[in-house]
Every structure is written in C-alpha cells, then in structure tokens.
C-alpha cells in the first residue's frame, strides 16, 4: 500500500531531500460518454486509487524524474524540455511546458512518481499525473495556480505532449472530485454541481477487459469528424447552433437523417447520451438505483450499436450481467474499444459475480479479467 511515509522514505533515499507530496486520484464516469468533447454533460467521480507526486527543489536547472512503476530515471535541462519517446515523462514535462508558457517561473526540481491507478485501463491515470504535477509544482515554487487552472493545464499538457485531444472531464474530476459525491459537469461552461452518490446496499465494480483495441484512435477521430459534419448540416437552417450540445433529435431528423444514415445514428447517440446524464442525476437524487442501472444499459447499447465504439470483450461482459437481478446495470466506460466496464452490483453478490464471470471470460477470450472495486474519494490535494 502506498502511504505518505512510504513515498517520503523512497524520495529521501533517491534524492536525499524532504519532499512536498501531492495526491491526485483516478476517476470513474457514471454516465455521459463522448459528450465532453461535444460540450455536453458528464457525471464522473474521483476514486480511491491515485497518483502520488513528490517534489523538491534543486540548485541547478535540471529536472530529475524517477518513476517507481518503470524503475526508470529521466533527466533533462529545464530550458530544453520537449516531448520524449520514453512516453511516461511527457505527462510531467507537458505540465512544466504549460506552466512556463504562462510566464510562471519554475526552477530545477526532483520528482518521484508512484500510484495505484491501473495504467491505460480508462481510469485516467494520465490526468491524475498531470493534476498532481501541476499542484506539486505550484506548491514547490509558490506559484499560487488557481484551482480551476489545474484541469486546464492538465488538458493542454495531454494535448501537446501526449498527443491526445481529450476533453476536460478527466482532469476536472481528478481535481474537484469529492468523497461520496459525483460531479455533474457542464463541459461548456465548466459549471458543476455535486450530487450525493448514495448506493444503499450496492457497490461499483469495474471489470477490466485488459484489452485496448488499436483502432480506437482512428475511430475516435472519425466520430469527432462525424459530429462536426452533422453540426454543419444543422447550421444551414439553425445558424445559432455552435456544436452538438445545441442540437436536438428533431434537428437531426430534419437536417441529417436523409443525407447520411450513419452520421445520423452516431450523432443521435450523442444527443441521447447527454440527456441520459440529466436523467441519471435525477434517478440518483431520488435514490432510484434501478432506473440508474437502466440508464447504464441504454448507454452501453448506444455505445455498442449506434456509436460503435465497443468491442467483443466489453459487449460480452455487459451481456453476461443481464441475467442477474443483483446487477442493476453495466456499460463500457471511457473512450471505447476495451478498458473497463462499470457495474452496479448488490454488495452481497460481488463475490458470486466474480466467481461466475471470471472463468467464463477467460474461457472465451484467453485473458484474465481484473476486478476493481472502487469508492469515491477526494480530489487533488497536498498530503
Ligand atoms: P489512462 O489515462 O486511461 O490510465 P493513458 O494511456 O491515457 O491511460 O495514460 C497512461 C499513461 O500515463 C502511462 O502509460 C504512463 O505513461 C502515464 N502514467 C500514469 N500513471 C503513471 C505512474 N504512476 N507512473 C508513471 N507514469 C504514469
Ligand atoms: Mg488517459
């Protein structure tokens, strides 16, 4: 288990200095997939798995990084930073670059990174690294970076140094998450509301398919293009429309349906998924978990059959749970083509579910299914 003391000890043994330590969590998203880059709504929460970044000042202009997961060192001069093929340093260097671009001075520093967010599983370990780095450097160099800037710096770092044109949801959830709460975030205005997550006898289980199909990036970019195409067509009659956020199903019926059936199906999903975020919120507030579970299943159906960003493994897991009344719903979480499914499972059925589903999954796909039980937790903070 990672603790403040374990990080402190490790840091001191490597860098012979006392660090400032920041924790930034991974995130889940209850519902609202592919809505963030369409300026719509999402419903994420920060989780009890996090990235830890420890930092101390140096007397020279060097950035010296050590990643526990890779047992690797990366060093570069502060005035020579650029994206590297090594990959993991990019999420840190991208943040340094953004801070420098804002004219905030950063000197040389030592940085140690460890964490228990599984990498590349769709729990946004990358956003956690970015947000933790931003707050750690802000504290170390007394930059007073406002809290709302943390997700923005993280998002830009991911765009420029990791090459992923992500929305702002992940960094926002990592920064502003709160224990026992989900965040209903308007990705256009960045206004947000906390909604209590009262699960009352149920728990959130993530089933990690342990696959990430390579066609993901291409398909992701194609979907972004299809959304743009639909907006252009809708704008011909409704010039006030800025992006998918402003589009209704009736507008799509009128302006897109007869022109391109595929673009119609894809974009209708986005409109309906955004509506489901509002519905899911109301169900949570009313304590109607059964209806929330239904929203999850509808979302997965849309992701799989309409938006076409699922895969055989995720579809199998979501189909499998439908036979159990103890599982209220499930869907693939994240950008798509693998990663984790999120499941709403009755507490006393968790062990039985794992016992039933794991061997079946292995028999079908020849891969282990990893089970991750998550709780909501607080956002980015200094330890
Ligand atoms: P996700 O954000 O879904 O976990 P990504 O592919 O976006 O997946 O980001 C994962 C990458 O983030 C890793 O490959 C690694 O480069 C970096 N990363 C995340 N956590 C750590 C960590 N604890 N130590 C070093 N690098 C990390
Ligand atoms: Mg990521």
Domain boundaries, the chain: 4-196, 202-374
Strand 62-67, strand 109-115: pairing: parallel
Q: Indicate the pLDDT class of residue 362, thresholds 50, 70 and 90.
A: very high
**Range scoring the smallest mean pLDDT among 2-16, 117-131, 215-229, 295-309:** 215-229
Average pLDDT of 145-154? 97
With a cut of 70, say whether residue 325 has pLDDT above it.
Answer: yes
pLDDT of residue 167: 85
Average pLDDT of 324-330? 98
Nearest in space to 344 (alpha carbons), one of 212, 197, 218: 197
Q: Tell me how far apart the alpha carbons of residues 38 and 275 are, in angstroms, rounded to a whole number.
A: 13
- Is 258 marked active-site? no
**Nearest-CA residue for atom 27 of ligand 1:** 88
pLDDT of residue 115: 98
pLDDT of residue 163: 83
Percent of the chain residues topping a pLDDT of 90: 91
**Nearest-CA residue for atom 2 of ligand 1:** 124
Q: Indicate the pLDDT class of residue 317, thresholds 50, 70 and 90.
A: very high
**CATH topology match: 4-196 vs 202-374:** no
Q: Is the CB of 120 within 6 Å of ligand 1? A: yes
Could you list which residues have their CB under 5 Å from ion ligand 2? Answer: 124, 126
Average pLDDT of 198-203? 94
Average pLDDT of 303-314? 96
DSSP string, 201-232: TEEEEEEEEEEE-TTHHHHHHHHHHHHHHHHH
What sign does the CA torsion over 118, 280, 323, 334 have? negative
Q: Is-contact 117 106, C-beta < 8 A?
A: no
Average pLDDT of 337-342? 94
Mean pLDDT score across all residues of the chain: 95
Q: Which residue has the tokens 């970019």?
A: 221
Q: Tell me how far apart the alpha carbons of residues 87 and 125 are, in angstroms, rounded to a whole number.
A: 13
Q: Is the CB of 115 within 6 Å of ligand 1? A: yes
Give 130 Cα–ligand 1 centroid separation in angstroms: 10
Q: Is-contact 118 22, C-beta < 8 A?
A: no
With a cut of 80, say whether residue 96 has pLDDT above it.
Answer: yes
Ligand 1 probe mutation, 54, 117, 118, 119, most atoms within 8 A of CB: 119
Separate counts of helices (H) and strands (E) for the chain = 11, 13
With a cut of 80, say whether residue 214 has pLDDT above it.
Answer: no
With a cut of 80, say whether residue 215 has pLDDT above it.
Answer: no
Domain 202-374 - what CATH class?
alpha beta
Chain centroid, CA 167 distance in Å: 9
Neighbours of 3 (CB within 10 A): 10
Distances (CA, A) of 133 to 65, 212, 223, 278, 345: 11, 26, 31, 33, 34
Distances (CA, A) of 359 to 292, 320, 324: 28, 12, 17
The partner residues of 184 in beta bridges, in order of sequence, read 193
pLDDT of residue 154: 98
pLDDT of residue 216: 60
pLDDT of residue 122: 87
Crossing angle of helices 90-101 and 149-157, in 10° steps, is 120
With a cut of 70, say whether residue 217 has pLDDT above it.
Answer: no
CATH number belonging to domain 4-196:
3.30.230.10
ipTM given for this complex: 0.99
With a cut of 90, say whether residue 261 has pLDDT above it.
Answer: yes
Residue from 36, 97, 114, 170 carrying the catalytic annotation: 170
pLDDT of residue 41: 95
Burial class (CB in 10 A: 0-12, 13-18, 19+), 363: exposed
pLDDT of residue 266: 97
Give 120 Cα–ligand 2 centroid separation in angstroms: 7
Average pLDDT of 340-367? 97
User: Where is 62: in which H helix or E strand?
Assistant: strand 62-67
User: Where is 21: in which H helix or E strand?
Assistant: strand 20-29
Token couple for 289: 């978990």
Q: Tell me how far apart the alpha carbons of residues 296 and 111 are, in angstroms, rounded to a whole number.
A: 40
**Range scoring the smallest mean pLDDT among 18-27, 155-164, 318-327, 372-381:** 155-164
């Amino acid at each position: 288990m990672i603790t403040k003391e374990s990080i402190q000890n490790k840091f001191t043994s490597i860098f012979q200095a006392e660090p400032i330590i920041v924790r930034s969590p991974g995130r889940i998203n209850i519902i609202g997939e592919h809505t963030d880059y369409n300026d719509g709504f999402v419903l994420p929460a920060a989780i009890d798995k996090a990235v830890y970044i420890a930092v101390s000042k140096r007397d020279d202009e060097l950035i010296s990084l050590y990643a526990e997961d890779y047992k690797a060192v990366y060093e570069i001069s502060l005035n020579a930073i650029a994206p590297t093929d090594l990959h993991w340093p990019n999420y840190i260097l991208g943040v340094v670059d953004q801070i420098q671009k804002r004219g905030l001075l950063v000197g040389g520093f030592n940085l140690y990174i460890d964490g228990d967010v599984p990498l590349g599983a769709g729990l946004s370990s990358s956003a956690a690294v970015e947000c933790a780095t931003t707050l750690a450097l802000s504290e170390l160099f007394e930059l007073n970076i406002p809290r709302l800037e943390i997700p923005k710096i993280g998002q830009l770092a991911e765009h420029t140094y990791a090459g992923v044109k992500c929305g702002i949801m992940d960094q926002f959830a990592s920064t502003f998450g709160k224990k026992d709460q989900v965040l209903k975030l308007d990705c256009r205005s960045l206004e947000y509301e906390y909604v209590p997550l009262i699960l009352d006898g149920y728990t959130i289980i993530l089933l990690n398919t342990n696959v990430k199909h390579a066609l993901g990036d291409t398909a992701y970019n194609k979907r972004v293009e299809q959304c743009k195409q639909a907006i252009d067509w809708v704008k011909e009659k409704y010039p006030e429309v800025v992006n998918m956020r402003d589009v209704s199903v009736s507008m799509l019926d009128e302006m897109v349906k007869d022109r391109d059936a595929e673009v119609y199906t894809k974009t209708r999903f986005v409109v309906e998924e955004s509506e489901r975020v509002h519905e899911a919120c109301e169900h949570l507030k009313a304590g109607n978990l059964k209806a929330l579970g239904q929203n999850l299943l509808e979302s997965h159906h849309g992701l799989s059959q309409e938006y076409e960003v699922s895969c055989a493994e995720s579809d199998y897991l979501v189909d499998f749970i439908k036979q159990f009344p103890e599982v209220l719903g499930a869907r693939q979480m994240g950008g798509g083509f693998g990663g984790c499914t999120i499941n709403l499972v009755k507490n006393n059925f968790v062990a039985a579910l794992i016992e039933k589903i794991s061997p079946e999954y292995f028999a079908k796909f020849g891969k282990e299914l990893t089970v991750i039980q998550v709780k909501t937790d607080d956002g980015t903070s200094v330890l």
